[in-house]
Structure 1
């Protein structure tokens, strides 16, 4: 492999990464990106943890919280859609640094909000930064990974998101009684601003991006030399990609070009449907269980089992690195559909209901968390940031649709079992979309 990676002082970057042991420098990149994603999860979930305190302090009704709770979702979509093409044009590190600073400052500013309207605007701005950070962390990390470990490492990094959201809940429970709800936002904003300094000092630009942009060999040599001194003797660097060729001149053009269009649309549809399921259940399951006859505390405890399953993404990453990634995730969504459907059939047995909800959470969160790694592997360097970011951005509207879906089903008087049957159908659509993507790639 080393002979293939290096010939006449010319190094093929991906062959070089495949040939070397995973170095401390690459683990540093992983750690920084993991913390970025963890903070993303913390700040995304923060508003939900402080909502009861807002109602109490400002004397507002629950419906009045709707705009502030959804503002970040719209910001997340906008940030991802803008940041992807920008990162493919000017670099992953620049956009990642700017986005971390943006959501950090906006979150700190939010802690000083004097009105619901002001907090709503700042949550949107926070969402823009969060939406821009996530896809660029995924892209940069994937571009320093060897081929055989890319999905495993990218999925492991993505586990920082649910961990950050859970951490936010524990910290909020401890901080709010002592210092009030503003302390949660202040902490959620201060840490990213400090992290931005470490990103500037320690995080390199994507070496694949540098080669694609024909950067000076000295810059590429500096990064690869920290992985192995073998790179220090190279005079030039090249990169070969197995992805389909296209004449597109921009990331957007590549993502929407003929060789990638079918896969792009299927990735969007898959991510959209995954978030339909996630937000439909996260937002409505406690109320649905209460309406099915469970006491409010029991409904809350059972519902809390659903978002705990993200750690399975590491296993799926391992499977994706060894087998067909499209089919691995498609199987995950098929299992998601089956388990969500089963929730509606076992409401008479509390123990069984809890077990099924937990399994549904594992399958749904695992399949959904694996999609960024799938997108990163699907697109070449020229359009990778755009491809990952647009999937995440456009898919966010699935979260909005999922929230409205259950309300519409209730208006049409769907029962408990019928509601979960409709939600489960979204998992089958996601599975079918990945099978279509697989078929398109084979033609």
Structure 2
């Protein structure tokens, strides 16, 4: 076959095949290796043909491109994991220091419900608003500026002198935190080979609970030596320093660059999200509408509910667990270390669930995880008088609550095409953040009304049961070949 002369039809078919490769194949990382207009087929397929046709020069170039792909993939995963680590540290920093601030300011701990809620409201709005921006301007820019934002406002937090100012600063910090998460997930998923996509997304997002683990380990000594303000100083300086490294080393999504290239070749303005979307899907309209189109509507609503329910439980635990344990007689150090244990166990659970998803049993693994999460949370409540049993129950709660969230993050990336992937993840996490806002706020209200710690924990188990039910409904859709959303749900179920 001659590659030097092609008909217009052949060119269109080649571009289509390149685009399909970018959306679905393994190891695509370098935009320059997949959007060249002089190649009729994309990356891995071309390299394979070159190796079999005996072209040494072409084969060598193909091997070099493959190495570059892998290098970009590793770099993207590691840098996104670093962002996730600092995101996790700053998200949960307020939970580490809340008991100390309450003692320092001589206020009731129940007032921190509004502070927790303000930060999580910022997370919700950041996820919803900055996800679509990334689909328009690229993952890289939004990740970098989100990291700068949450670092800067965390650094300003020690200046707060009252609850209202603290709540405002936590809200602004949350905007940056919320903008980073959907985009590091989307960027990682777009670089990951399909056969290990859920595992790589999970490994990357392990940085989030690892940040909480690190925070739990260093917060107590920092506060005892330098005061609670030192936790936010550390949590502010490190993201700003990381942003310089991201600017220098973080690659852009090859899928995003390919869509922009396709739009440019079609004579469309690069700055128009509608045109970019039309160039890849043949449709126009706002990206958010695409979340409900092509049979994705009911599946999207189920995903939103699962994110809402699980993040409600998760953020209730990470914000209130230390205070609840102190209230039941645990020391401050034990209470802070319980969060490190919760998040550390979440890493183990997330890795296990990620592997199950890659092996083709995602919905069964997630449904069972949510059921066991509910049992574990009830276990914390009923074993409150025995420190060993409490820590054991916290370990299992972390494995299944946080681990299942990792699984949902990875699963959601397979539900949406590249053109709206960051938007889809942003809205799922944004609606989930509404749950993370409601959970801590409701906990503070019920605490103020005199609810016991055991009663609050029993209540926190209910959303996990409802999430298990929603996962079952999603699996029913996937098994129904006649359902309107079956095609999309099946891609999730497989």
1:109 offset after TM fit, Å? Answer: 2.5
Cα gap change, 1:335 to 1:141, in 2 (>3 Å): same
The separation in 2 between residues aligned to 1:215 and 1:281, in whole angstroms, is 46
1:258-290 deviation line (CA, Å, top 9, x unaligned)? 511111111111111112322344455567668
Cα gap change, 1:248 to 1:317, in 2 (>3 Å): farther
1:209 aligned counterpart, secondary structure = helix
The separation in 2 between residues aligned to 1:210 and 1:438, in whole angstroms, is 34
TM-score, length-scaled by structure 2: 0.73
1:181-192 correspondence runs (5 A): 181-192=228-239
2:252 aligned counterpart, secondary structure = coil
Matched, 1:172 2:182: no
The 10-residue stretch of structure 1 (44-53 or 366-375) with the greater mean CA deviation from structure 2: 44-53
Question: Of 265, 268, 273, which aligns to 2:301?
Answer: 265
Q: Which residue of 1 aligns with 2:173?
A: 126
1:338 aligned counterpart, secondary structure = helix
Q: Structure 1: which 5+ residue stretches go unaligned?
A: 1-6, 219-240
1:17-43 deviation line (CA, Å, top 9, x unaligned)? 275577233111111100000010111
Question: Of 399, 402, 406, which aligns to 1:369?
Answer: 406
The 10-residue stretch of structure 1 (339-348 or 188-197) with the greater mean CA deviation from structure 2: 339-348
Question: Of 184, 188, 197, which aligns to 1:150?
Answer: 197
1:389 offset after TM fit, Å? Answer: 1.1
The separation in 1 between residues aligned to 2:477 and 2:282, in whole angstroms, is 16
The 10-residue stretch of structure 1 (272-281 or 187-196) with the greater mean CA deviation from structure 2: 272-281
1:194-209 correspondence runs (5 A): 194-209=241-256
Cα gap change, 1:418 to 1:51, in 2 (>3 Å): closer
2:251 aligned counterpart, secondary structure = coil
The separation in 1 between residues aligned to 2:380 and 2:162, in whole angstroms, is 40
Q: Is the contact made by 1:80 and 1:389 (CA closer than 8 Å) also made in structure 2?
A: yes
Q: Structure 2: which 5+ residue stretches go unaligned?
A: 1-12, 29-43, 45-65, 266-279, 480-485, 487-494
1:342 offset after TM fit, Å? Answer: 4.2
Q: Which residue of 1 aligns with 2:53?
A: none
Q: Which residue of 1 aligns with 2:421?
A: 384
Using CA pairs under 8 Å that are at least 6 residues apart, name the structure with larger relative contact order, 1 or 2.
1
Q: Is the contact made by 1:246 and 1:259 (CA closer than 8 Å) also made in structure 2?
A: no
Matched, 1:90 2:137: yes
Cα gap change, 1:193 to 1:172, in 2 (>3 Å): same
Which of 1 and 2 has greater Rg? 2
Cα-Cα RMSD: 3.4
1:56 offset after TM fit, Å? Answer: 4.8
Q: Is the contact made by 1:330 and 1:431 (CA closer than 8 Å) also made in structure 2?
A: yes
Q: Which residue of 1 aligns with 2:329?
A: 295
Matched, 1:400 2:437: yes
TM-score, length-scaled by structure 1: 0.81
Q: Which residue of 1 aligns with 2:288?
A: 252
1:199 offset after TM fit, Å? Answer: 1.4
Q: Is the contact made by 1:250 and 1:382 (CA closer than 8 Å) also made in structure 2?
A: no
The separation in 2 between residues aligned to 1:56 and 1:413, in whole angstroms, is 20
1:173-209 deviation line (CA, Å, top 9, x unaligned)? 2333443333322221222122112212211111111
The separation in 1 between residues aligned to 2:398 and 2:414, in whole angstroms, is 25
Number of residue-to-residue matches in the alignment: 411
Q: Is the contact made by 1:319 and 1:328 (CA closer than 8 Å) also made in structure 2?
A: yes
The separation in 2 between residues aligned to 1:111 and 1:422, in whole angstroms, is 33
Matched, 1:17 2:27: yes
